[in-house]
């Protein structure tokens, strides 16, 4: 298994797609050898020096703690790391949509974490262990770190990250929801978490079937009408981001707090839980027996 590069930058930067191929080598994808880091540092676009959010040390410390704490069950690291990555970086959605930031984090700062978390196990069909290149440079639902940040952003309930832990504890929920853009409506996100937490939906097939049904119903039903949400106050987010300058490191033992935004209206979540429960009864779940 690879270790971190010899040269780890002190600050995050933007790594353009055009510069990635020379560092995304076969040796790296097989977790055999990592680049040295010096040459990569020459092709990045720096971020503002006066912004405390771009310090690398807090992120390196988090991933090292995650690799130690979850060394016997690496999948469980997602639920622990997602809220802490989100609370540490304190990004706007526009900043988080820039793939160059996540590519730099994965390739320059923590390629050893990407390998630790996503190196495949050998199978009879594919005996060679390998990391998918998408884990370094890929869409939001696949890239190692962006998937965690977006999961935290979409599933948090105001400042409360507890729903994020539930969501990230179910790989199928995170993958299906991020891939299908279901949770930009906050009550939908919280209703899905409630259904998972209650055990009403558990398997990947069930989650995928319900996701299909939710998308189909959304073509004729506006969820904003059935389950209205309060508009977000951008000032609270800006204040939370500005506090990054003086914020202490996130706790390893209790969940951090996100932006001081109002939680989702409870009546909206309850309405969607009931509606999605009804949808699930007729959702196209592969392999589920239906009554004749």
Instruction: Give the tens place of pLDDT for each residue, 36-56.
Output: 999 999 999 999 999 999 999
pLDDT of residue 96 exceeding 80: yes
Instruction: Please report the pLDDT score of residue 285 as a whole number.
Output: 81
2 or 222: which leads in pLDDT:
2
Strand 45-46 vs strand 13-14: parallel, antiparallel, or unpaired?
antiparallel
Task: Give the Cα separation of 249 and 163 in Å (integer).
Answer: 21
The mean pLDDT of 204-224, rounded to a whole number, is: 83
The mean pLDDT of 109-116, rounded to a whole number, is: 98
Instruction: Please report the pLDDT score of residue 183 as a whole number.
Output: 64
Q: How many residues does the chain have?
A: 292
Q: pLDDT band for position 119 (50/70/90)?
A: very high
Instruction: Please report the pLDDT score of residue 10 as a whole number.
Output: 97
pTM, two decimal places: 0.94
pLDDT-wise least confident of 59-73, 129-143, 182-196: 182-196
Q: Do residues 147 and 140 make contact, with C-beta atoms less than 8 angstroms apart? A: yes
pLDDT of residue 287 exceeding 80: no
Please name which of 102, 138, 131 lies closest in space to residue 116, comparing C-alpha atoms: 131
Whole-angstrom CA distances from 129 to 24, 28, 84, 135 are 16, 11, 29, 14
Q: pLDDT band for position 219 (50/70/90)?
A: low
SS3 label, residue 127: coil
Nearest-5° Cα angle at 224, 262 to 166: 55
Q: pLDDT band for position 292 (50/70/90)?
A: very low
Q: pLDDT band for position 2 (50/70/90)?
A: very high
Beta strands in the chain (DSSP E): 13-14, 45-46
Q: Do residues 281 and 90 make contact, with C-beta atoms less than 8 angstroms apart? A: no
What rounded mean pLDDT belongs to the chain? Answer: 92
Q: pLDDT band for position 93 (50/70/90)?
A: very high
SS3 label, residue 95: helix
Paired strand residues for 80: none
User: How would you class 68 by CB atoms within 10 Å of its CB: exposed for 0-12, middle for 13-18, buried for 19 or more?
Assistant: exposed
pLDDT digits (tens, 9 = 90+) for 136-152: 999 988 999 999 999 99
pLDDT of residue 291 exceeding 50: no
Nearest-5° Cα angle at 154, 153 to 157: 85
184: number of Cβ within 10 Å? 10
The mean pLDDT of 48-73, rounded to a whole number, is: 97
Q: pLDDT band for position 181 (50/70/90)?
A: low
The mean pLDDT of 220-247, rounded to a whole number, is: 91
Task: Give the Cα separation of 195 and 181 in Å (integer).
Answer: 18
pLDDT of residue 189 exceeding 80: yes
């Amino acid at each position: 298994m690879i270790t971190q590069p010899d040269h780890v930058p002190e600050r995050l930067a933007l790594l353009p797609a055009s510069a990635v191929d020379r560092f995304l080598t076969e040796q790296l994808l097989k977790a055999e050898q990592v680049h040295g880091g010096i040459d990569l540092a020459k092709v990045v676009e720096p971020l503002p020096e006066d912004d405390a959010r771009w310090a690398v040390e807090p992120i390196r410390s988090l991933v090292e703690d995650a690799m130690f704490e979850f060394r016997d069950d690496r999948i469980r690291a997602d639920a622990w790391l997602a809220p802490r990555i989100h609370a540490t970086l304190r990004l706007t959605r526009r900043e988080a949509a820039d793939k160059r930031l996540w590519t730099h984090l994965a390739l320059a700062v923590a390629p050893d974490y990407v390998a630790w978390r996503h190196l495949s196990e050998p199978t009879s069909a594919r005996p060679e262990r390998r990391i998918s290149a998408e884990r370094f440079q890929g869409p939001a639902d696949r890239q190692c770190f962006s998937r965690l940040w977006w999961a935290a952003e979409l599933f948090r309930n105001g400042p409360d990250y507890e729903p994020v832990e539930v969501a990230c504890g179910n790989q199928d929920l995170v993958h299906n929801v991020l891939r299908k853009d279901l949770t930009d409506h906050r009550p939908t996100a919280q209703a899905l978490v409630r259904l998972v937490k209650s055990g009403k939906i558990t398997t990947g097939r069930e989650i995928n079937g319900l996701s299909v049904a939710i998308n189909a119903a959304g073509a004729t039903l506006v969820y904003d009408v059935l389950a209205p949400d309060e508009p977000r106050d951008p000032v609270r987010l800006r204040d939370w981001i500005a506090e990054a300058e003086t914020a202490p490191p996130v706790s390893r033992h209790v969940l951090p707090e996100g932006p001081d935004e109002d939680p989702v209206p409870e009546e909206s979540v309850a309405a969607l839980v009931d509606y999605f429960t009804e949808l699930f009864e007729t959702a196209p779940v592969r392999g589920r027996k239906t009554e004749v």
